[in-house]
Structure 1
Amino acid sequence: MIGHCGLAAPDSAFGPAAGSRCLVLGVLNVTPDSFSDGGRHRSVAAAVHHGLELAATGADLVDVGGESTRPGAARIPLAEELARVLPVVRELAGAGVRVSIDTMRSAVAAAAVDAGAVLVNDVSGGRADPAMARCVAELGTPYVATHWRAPSADMAAHSHYGDVVTEVVAELRDRLAALTAAGVRPERIVLDPGLGFAKTAEQSWQILRHLDALHELGQPVLVGASRKSFLAAFGPSGGPGREHATTAISTLAAARGAFAVRVHDVAASAVAVRVAAALAVSGAAAGDLCGRILDV
């Protein structure tokens, strides 16, 4: 059964299909040092196996990343990032999995799309690589632009805000204007508030409390809370407490109109977004976003 977004739809007993609900991006880090699962999927075979598992358990897209963006992480050479991600993207796409590429580099984005990726997820929102906006405009792919103030190595020093919600919205508005000025079609842009990126735990919670402010920008919104340090009160990274907290946030984000959530534990959030859609008065908004962004 195929939903109207071209994504594999679950049996109706499991609730609304893709196109009438929030989408789920499954995290696939092909890195040795990511904060939660670094080193687990470094070989191509292990990464592809896990990517197929993510898709089988409900990921609408598998988000492949070859460079850690954990707090304090240093950049890696371009050649190393390409070597990590391209074989994985190519094999997953060849197996029929819808793949997104998690990168801050235009060269990686272009190569990954050529290998079969259908969405570019850039945690710097185009600020780390000045060529990214023009590249994405030429590729014509959907593009996730995250709120970002500085590289991971020193982003903690940039977490000073007067009003974090107001300032994040304003800075995302500026990013949106810059991207569209570079030729990226507005209907292809998804905005991510960047929970944990140059933000304290309380600032991340403030943004989650005020997701409606992000919707005022008129763009689809992606929420990436999975296992992040602002959830530390619920337990250690990878522990059940943080997983349960992530699932709760997926439910709430979906109920508040998020276009997508990005998570490690796909199965739980796949159920959560379907529950949110089943309880919604109307799932039309999410369906419209899915069709508009994925254009299938």
Structure 2
Amino acid sequence: MLEQYQPATWRCGRFLFDFAKRKRPVIMGILNVTPDSFSDGGQFRASKDARAQAERMISSGVDIIDIGGESTRPGAEPISLQEELDRVLPVIDGLKDCGVALSIDTYKAETMRQALKAGVDCVNDIWALRQVGAVDAILENSSCGIVLMHMQRDPQTMQFDPDYEDVIAEVMQFLRERTDYLVQKGVNRDRIAIDPGFGFGKSLEHNLNMLSNFKSFSKLSYPVLAGISRKSMIGKVTGKDTNDRVAASVAAAVMATDRGAKIIRVHDVPETVDALKLWEAIQQHQLPKH
């Protein structure tokens, strides 16, 4: 039974998400303040544009705004610490009292540290805190949420013929090791969420396998994040360009939710919220299980 694995809550800085009280997942809206992200690069680099996009997401029902200052699309080149800070800190300052949780999408320890001091509630790390100093930055904060993602190799090389004997088992083993390590370091379990990392060192077949068997990741007993929005796997299946992948992205969000996802990370907040409201309404009319 899937239900026995579900965590009760996720502590995310100033916010506590209670999965017993809410049926639909937490919606994490993507806010990239970058010139080169794969979907919305360059659209929200100016602080006023980022603020306006955040306000649109808030009015649509977003729960968390995930702020990213460095693209991690396949083949992306790293940027300097100072450049990342210059991009994200003004946006965080402008949104810190917006009424929803804020997340920083970074793998740099100093960016984590300064973003947390500036008011973010969560650290979302594609490297699962494996970069130098990242765990120490987390340990300095007693309540921030943490999202640990699986990635094979690095953004520059991750899509060069990714290979697994068993993608589900290997991703689960990695996430188990990283979560166990944090717990051993003294991090409370209710602060940790996991992300299997769609598109980060996975072929189309690997991605489809993970979505089909997404409920397996809930066996680790942490909230599972699904980040599929507009990704290349959707383009390969539908033949659509990035900005024409909204419908399939929403469908993927519903599929992941049906398979136990507790956090959905998306570009298209209004459409996803509406779809998951319908999903939630349907859950209330299911016959009891015998």
TM-score normalised by the chain length of structure 1: 0.85
Please give the alpha-carbon distance, in whole angstroms, between the structure 2 residues aligned to 1:208 and 1:217: 16
State yes or no: 1:263 paired with 2:273: no
User: Aligned-pair distance for 1:282?
Assistant: 9.3
Equivalent in 97, 108, 112 of residue 109 of structure 1: 112
Decide whether the 8 Å contact of 2:39 with 2:243 is kept in 1.
no
Residues 213-262 of structure 1 show CA distances to partners (whole Å, capped at 9, x for unaligned) of 1011111100000000011122433333x211110111122222211100
Letter in structure 1 aligned against 2:79: I
Aligned runs of 1:1-296 on 2, under 5 Å? 19-127=22-130, 129-140=131-142, 141-157=144-160, 159-232=162-235, 233-240=237-244, 242-280=245-283
Letter in structure 1 aligned against 2:140: E
Decide whether the 8 Å contact of 1:220 with 1:258 is kept in 2.
yes
Decide whether the 8 Å contact of 2:124 with 2:148 is kept in 1.
yes
CA 1:274–1:78: 2 relative to 1, 3 Å: same
Decide whether the 8 Å contact of 2:121 with 2:145 is kept in 1.
yes
Please give the alpha-carbon distance, in whole angstroms, between the structure 2 residues aligned to 1:144 and 1:227: 20
Letter in structure 1 aligned against 2:118: A
User: Aligned-pair distance for 1:18?
Assistant: 7.9
Please give the alpha-carbon distance, in whole angstroms, between the structure 2 residues aligned to 1:37 and 1:18: 33
Please give the alpha-carbon distance, in whole angstroms, between the structure 2 residues aligned to 1:275 and 1:253: 15
Decide whether the 8 Å contact of 2:126 with 2:151 is kept in 1.
yes
Decide whether the 8 Å contact of 2:44 with 2:50 is kept in 1.
yes
Please give the alpha-carbon distance, in whole angstroms, between the structure 2 residues aligned to 1:181 and 1:130: 18
CA 1:176–1:158: 2 relative to 1, 3 Å: farther
Please give the alpha-carbon distance, in whole angstroms, between the structure 2 residues aligned to 1:204 and 1:278: 28
SS at match of 1:19: coil
Letter in structure 2 aligned against 1:248: A
Letter in structure 2 aligned against 1:139: N
Please give the alpha-carbon distance, in whole angstroms, between the structure 2 residues aligned to 1:89 and 1:18: 29
Decide whether the 8 Å contact of 2:229 with 2:265 is kept in 1.
yes
Letter in structure 2 aligned against 1:112: A
Decide whether the 8 Å contact of 1:133 with 1:184 is kept in 2.
no
Decide whether the 8 Å contact of 1:52 with 1:92 is kept in 2.
no
User: Aligned-pair distance for 1:263?
Assistant: 0.4
Going by fraction, where is helix more abundant, 1 or 2?
A: 1
Decide whether the 8 Å contact of 2:89 with 2:118 is kept in 1.
yes
Please give the alpha-carbon distance, in whole angstroms, between the structure 1 residues aligned to 2:202 and 2:260: 23
Please give the alpha-carbon distance, in whole angstroms, between the structure 1 residues aligned to 2:167 and 2:231: 18
CA 1:219–1:282: 2 relative to 1, 3 Å: farther
Decide whether the 8 Å contact of 1:255 with 1:277 is kept in 2.
no
Please give the alpha-carbon distance, in whole angstroms, between the structure 2 residues aligned to 1:227 and 1:169: 24
Decide whether the 8 Å contact of 1:61 with 1:97 is kept in 2.
yes
Letter in structure 1 aligned against 2:43: R
CA 1:153–1:220: 2 relative to 1, 3 Å: same
Runs of 4+ with deviation above 4 angstroms: none
User: Aligned-pair distance for 1:105?
Assistant: 1.2
Residues 89-117 of structure 1 show CA distances to partners (whole Å, capped at 9, x for unaligned) of 11011333421111111211121121111
Please give the alpha-carbon distance, in whole angstroms, between the structure 2 residues aligned to 1:158 and 1:187: 35
SS at match of 2:96: helix
Residues 170-198 of structure 1 show CA distances to partners (whole Å, capped at 9, x for unaligned) of 11111112222233222211000000000
User: Aligned-pair distance for 1:86?
Assistant: 0.6
Give the share of equivalent positions with the same residue, in percent.
38
Please give the alpha-carbon distance, in whole angstroms, between the structure 2 residues aligned to 1:42 and 1:17: 37
- Structure 2 stretches of 5 or more lacking a match? 1-11
Decide whether the 8 Å contact of 2:213 with 2:259 is kept in 1.
no
